[in-house]
């Protein structure tokens, strides 16, 4: 080849120059050393790549913050922020508990039934949930149906003490679970080999799914299995991966459509991939992934495909809506999870995991043939599941029937389309809907030319009684249209209140008020203005506040009665012990007793 006459002679001369340089640099090494050093560098680079790819704990900013906390000034600021955040959490969680009196001890004697029910009613009425007005979303999905409620009460009385652990003692519970699974398998077009299990939550269903595919991967010789999940999927997949100790490959959604990126999924598939996850719809963005295309990838690379599906999907076609591929009619799908406590309108803790073939169910179950108690088989995490929950789910599905579910699906989807149209057309670009929501979940942000903080908008709506979900990455608001949002004027009231809040925030911003970035917290309908490096401390503070039983500022003797109820705070002071002692002596008629402290109030005498 004539190098000097080649148009690429500069490139060829440069490559040859580097070739000579490397040969001269390593001419003192033997061939086996060059091979060994090369392999060592390859393994090191691969190890570093996986560390940065999978280890969530490896975060440079977190490490830097931990080092800065050793500085006294920074530590002081951190503690102040921590204390303020703790107060905000307690104010949020105890907002409607005015008495702040807690049972901290088991009563000596059982209380009267009427007293217990009365106090339970007081607990239920602690907050103005605005449930009946349709201002709650995503936490309650059904509507007030007295007939359905009476049915649930009657069925619960029949099965409240039944268990799935003893199918020969409670054969009716076994039969009801089998029927619920079969009805769901039929709705999702499972074949004769399809099967499944009833679980107590979507988190348990997903944990069982990940566990089953992990066990199959181990049998196939995969030592470190991975699952591919889009960032818009349920958080339960991250929880399951952390619990089971397997790797999770998180992929970003497409920024224009906010669904799973097919090309990214293809690039992420390796020999260690044991599962691909698709959402129908995404619980974050409300978009449905391209399950047909993902299925083709799964079949091509022989990787199982799981779909987290909505209970609305099987009824869409009967409501004259185009239903995307979502069930076992798609050949690549091997499992489906469905939450019945959402759009199945069953009591909370009702979920189903469905399998294409019983082989997967065997991988899901825990078995032990050598246990001294006998051969043990548990299809779910809970070894003893309440038969009442299965019975309530069974009764609810029979109560609604296909026709009832079709009617409710029609109402929900019609209301969702109305809300979607209003958000897109009535705000002049101030509101932007993310992606193209297919079902009932709509996520929106403030427009690009709008400087309104979307979390501030959510806080203002919360002040008006709207219970929305505040989200991050990106900052957004999510509304989940349920039956109560289908009532007259609820959608119009929501749109009107959004306009009012935008107008109010715009006026406030014109006054040059500064708003710091806030952090949303799942389950709470308002955001938090966290201080220095407090985002990582928020989970611990929340757990402490959630299980706290603080003392009331003004203590009463309400909980110290003849039934054995206890004070919310017991301080072994002389005045307190004296008053209690005198009170019981007075009840027993053994002595008349007067208190030196006139301000101490005794509880009323029992009749």
Return the minimum-mean-pLDDT range out of 34-43, 399-408, 589-598.
589-598
Does the structure show a pLDDT above 60 at 531? no
Spatial contact of 484 and 143, defined as CB atoms under 8 Å apart: yes
**What is the residue-wise DSSP string for 554-599?**
S--STT-STT----SS----HHHHHHHHHHHHHHHTS-----S-TT
Alpha-carbon dihedral 181, 183, 187, 189, rounded to 10 degrees: 70
Tokens of 269: 């598939």
Phi-psi sector, 53: left (phi>0), alpha (psi -120 to 50), beta: alpha
Name the least confident of 142-146, 502-506, 538-542: 142-146
CATH of the domain at 525: 3.90.1150.10
Pairwise CA distance, residues 592 & 583, whole Å: 9
Q: What is the pLDDT of residue 552?
A: 64
Tell me, yes or no, whether 387 and 465 share the same domain. Answer: no
CA distance 16 to 136: 71
Report, as an integer, the average pLDDT of 398-409. Answer: 96
93 inside domain: no
pTM to 2 decimal places: 0.81
Same domain as 159, residue 213: yes
How does pLDDT run across 551-591, given as a tens digit for each residue?
A: 766 555 444 444 444 443 444 444 444 444 444 444 444 33
**Tokens found for residue 142:** 């059904």
Asked if residue 34 has pLDDT above 80, the reply is yes
Rounded mean pLDDT of 186-195?
94
- Residues 331 and 357: beta-carbon distance below 8 Å: no
Helix 490-510 to helix 454-463 angle (10° resolution) is 120
What does the DSSP 8-state code read for residue 373?
A: T
Quick check: is 423 in a domain?
yes
The domain that contains 312 carries what CATH number?
3.40.640.10
Look at residues 491, 511, 533 and tell me which one is the last residue of a structural domain: 533
Is residue 121 a part of any domain in this protein? no
The closest of 551, 312, 545 to 438, measured between CA atoms, is 312
Q: Distances in Å between the alpha carbon of 576 and those of 100, 593, 604?
A: 19, 14, 16
Q: What six digits make up the tokens of 32?
A: 């086996």
Instruction: Tell me what the mean pLDDT of segment 111-118 comes to.
Output: 92
3-state secondary structure of 602: coil
Q: What is the pLDDT of residue 55?
A: 53
Note down the domain range covering 220. Answer: 150-402
Q: Which residue has the higher pLDDT, 192 or 96?
A: 192
Q: CA 177 to CA 161: how far, in whole Å?
A: 16
Percent of the chain with pLDDT over 90: 53
Would the CA dihedral through 173, 179, 182, 187 be positive or negative?
A: negative
Q: Which of 212-226, 318-332, 505-519, 546-560 has the lowest mean pLDDT?
A: 546-560
Residue 599 has pLDDT above 50, yes or no: no
> Which has more pLDDT, 90 or 390?
390
Task: Please state, rounded to an integer, the average pLDDT across all residues of the chain.
Answer: 84
Residue 204, both tokens? 């348990």
Lookup: tokens for 185: 């398998």
Indicate whether 587 belongs to any domain: no
Of 402, 418, 433, the one marking the end of a domain is: 402
- What is the rounded distance in angstroms from the CA atom of residue 216 to the CA atom of residue 92? 45
Same domain? For 310 and 394 the reply is: yes
Distance CA 541, CA 87 (A): 10
Task: Please give the Cα distance from 102 to 105 (Å, whole number).
Answer: 9
Question: Which residues have CB under 8 Å from 544's CB, separation 6+?
Answer: 86
Residue 180 has pLDDT above 90, yes or no: yes
SS3 helix, strand, coil % of the chain, rounded to 5? Answer: 45, 10, 45
Asked whether residue 207 falls in the same domain as residue 159, the answer is yes
pLDDT of amino acid 567: 43
E strand or H helix that includes residue 183: helix 171-187
Place of tokens 């490096």: 533
CA distance 484 to 132: 7
Tokens of 86: 């703790």
Q: pLDDT class for 464, splitting at 50, 70, 90?
A: confident
Contact 349, 339 (CB under 8 A): no
Q: What is the pLDDT of residues 310-349, one digit of tens each?
A: 999 999 999 999 999 999 999 999 999 999 999 999 999 8
Region 178-204: mean pLDDT is 95
Residue 260 lies in a domain: yes
Q: Give the lowest-confidence range in 43-47, 253-257, 439-443.
A: 43-47
Q: What angle do CA 330, 336, 338 make, to 5 degrees?
A: 130
* 581 or 468, which is more confident: 468
Are 417 and 393 part of one and the same domain?
no
Number of structural domains (the chain) is: 3
Q: 338 and 212 share a domain?
A: yes
- Please determine, for residue 147, whether its predicted confidence score (pLDDT) is greater than 90: yes
d(Cα 114, Cα 45) in Å, to the nearest integer? Answer: 69
Classify residue 3 by burial, with Cβ atoms within 10 Å: 0-12, 13-18, 19+: exposed
- Is pLDDT of 135 > 80? no
Question: What was the pLDDT predicted at 2?
Answer: 56
* Residue 418 to residue 415: CA distance in whole angstroms: 5
**Which of these ranges, 137-146, 156-165, 229-238, has the smallest mean pLDDT?**
137-146
Question: Residues 337, 367: one domain?
Answer: yes
Report if residue 236 sits inside a domain. yes
3-class DSSP assignment, residue 372:
coil
Examine residue 606 and state whether it is found in any structural domain, yes or no.
Answer: no
pLDDT at 61: 67
Judgement on whether residues 414 and 387 belong to the same structural domain of the protein: no
**Exposure string for 79-90, b = 16+ CB within 10 A, e = fewer:** eebbeebbebbb
Whether residue 136 is contained in a domain is answered as no
- Judged against a pLDDT cut of 70, whether residue 1 lies above it is answered with no
Q: Which two tokens stand for residue 363?
A: 């991988």
Q: Kindly list the strands in the beta sheet with 247-251, ordered across the sheet, starting from the edge strand earlier in the chain.
A: 195-199, 351-355, 333-339, 305-309, 273-280, 226-230, 247-251
Whether the pLDDT of residue 383 is over 50: the answer is yes
What average pLDDT does the segment 12-19 reach?
Answer: 85
pLDDT value at residue 138:
66
Among 372, 402, 432, the domain boundary falls at: 402
**pLDDT for the residue numbered 79:** 84
């Amino acid at each position: 080849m004539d190098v000097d006459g080649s148009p690429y002679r500069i490139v060829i001369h440069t490559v040859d120059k580097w070739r000579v340089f490397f040969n001269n640099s390593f001419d003192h090494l033997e061939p086996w050393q060059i091979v060994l050093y090369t392999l060592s560098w390859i393994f090191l680079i691969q190890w570093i790549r996986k560390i940065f790819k999978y280890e969530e704990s490896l975060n440079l900013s977190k490490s830097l913050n931990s080092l800065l906390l050793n500085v006294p000034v920074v530590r002081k600021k951190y503690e102040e922020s921590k204390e303020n955040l703790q107060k905000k959490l307690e104010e949020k969680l105890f907002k409607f508990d005015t008495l702040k009196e807690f049972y901290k001890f088991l009563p000596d004697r059982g209380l009267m039934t009427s007293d217990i029910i009365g106090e339970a009613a007081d607990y239920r009425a602690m907050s103005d949930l605005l449930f009946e007005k349709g201002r709650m979303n995503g936490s309650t999905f059904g509507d007030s149906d007295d007939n359905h409620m009476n049915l649930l009460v009657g069925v619960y009385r029949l099965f409240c003490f039944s268990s799935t652990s003893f199918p020969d003692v409670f054969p009716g519970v076994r039969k009801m679970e089998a029927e619920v699974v079969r009805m769901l398998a039929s709705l999702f077009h499972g074949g004769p080999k399809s099967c499944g299990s009833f679980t107590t939550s979507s988190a348990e269903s997903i944990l069982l799914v990940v566990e089953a595919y992990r066990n199959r991967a181990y049998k196939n010789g995969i030592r470190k299995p991975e699952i591919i999940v889009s960032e818009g999927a349920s958080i339960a997949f991250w929880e399951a991966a952390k619990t089971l100790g397997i790797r999770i490959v998180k992929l970003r959604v497409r920024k224009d459509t906010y669904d799973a990126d097919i090309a990214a999924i293809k690039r992420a598939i390796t020999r260690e991939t044991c599962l691909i996850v698709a959402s129908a719809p995404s619980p974050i963005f409300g978009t449905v992934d391209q399950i047909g295309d993902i299925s083709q990838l799964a079949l091509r690379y022989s990787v199982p495909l799981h779909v987290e599906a909505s209970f609305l999907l099987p009824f869409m076609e009967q409501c004259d809506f185009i239903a995307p591929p979502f069930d076992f009619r798609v050949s690549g799908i091997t499992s489906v999870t469905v939450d019945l406590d959402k759009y199945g309108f069953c009591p909370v803790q009702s979920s189903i995991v469905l399998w294409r073939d019983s082989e997967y169910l065997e991988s899901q179950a825990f078995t032990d043939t050598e246990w001294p108690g006998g051969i043990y088989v548990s299809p779910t995490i809970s070894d003893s599941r309440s038969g009442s929950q299965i019975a309530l789910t069974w009764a609810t599905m029979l109560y609604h029937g296909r026709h009832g579910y079709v009617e409710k699906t029609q109402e929900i989807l019609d209301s969702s389309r109305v809300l979607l149209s209003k958000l897109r057309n009535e705000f002049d670009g101030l509101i932007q809907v993310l992606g193209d929501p297919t079902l009932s979940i709509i996520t929106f942000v403030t427009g690009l030319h709008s400087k309104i903080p979307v979390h501030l908008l959510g806080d203002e709506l919360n002040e008006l009684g709207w219970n929305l979900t505040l989200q991050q990455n990106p900052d957004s608001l999510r509304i989940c249209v349920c039956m109560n949002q289908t009532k007259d004027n609820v959608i119009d009231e929501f749109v009107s209140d959004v306009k009012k809040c935008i107008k109010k925030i715009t006026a406030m911003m014109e006054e040059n008020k500064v708003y710091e970035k806030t952090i949303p917290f799942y389950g709470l309908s308002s955001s938090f203005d966290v201080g220095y490096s407090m985002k990582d401390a928020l989970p611990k503070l929340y757990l402490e506040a959630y299980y706290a039983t603080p003392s009331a500022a003004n203590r009463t003797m309400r909980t110290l009665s003849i039934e054995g109820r206890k004070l919310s705070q017991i301080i072994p002071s002389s005045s307190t012990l004296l008053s209690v002692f005198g009170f019981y002596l007075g009840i027993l008629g053994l002595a008349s007793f007067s208190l030196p402290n006139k301000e101490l109030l005794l509880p009323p005498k029992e009749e």
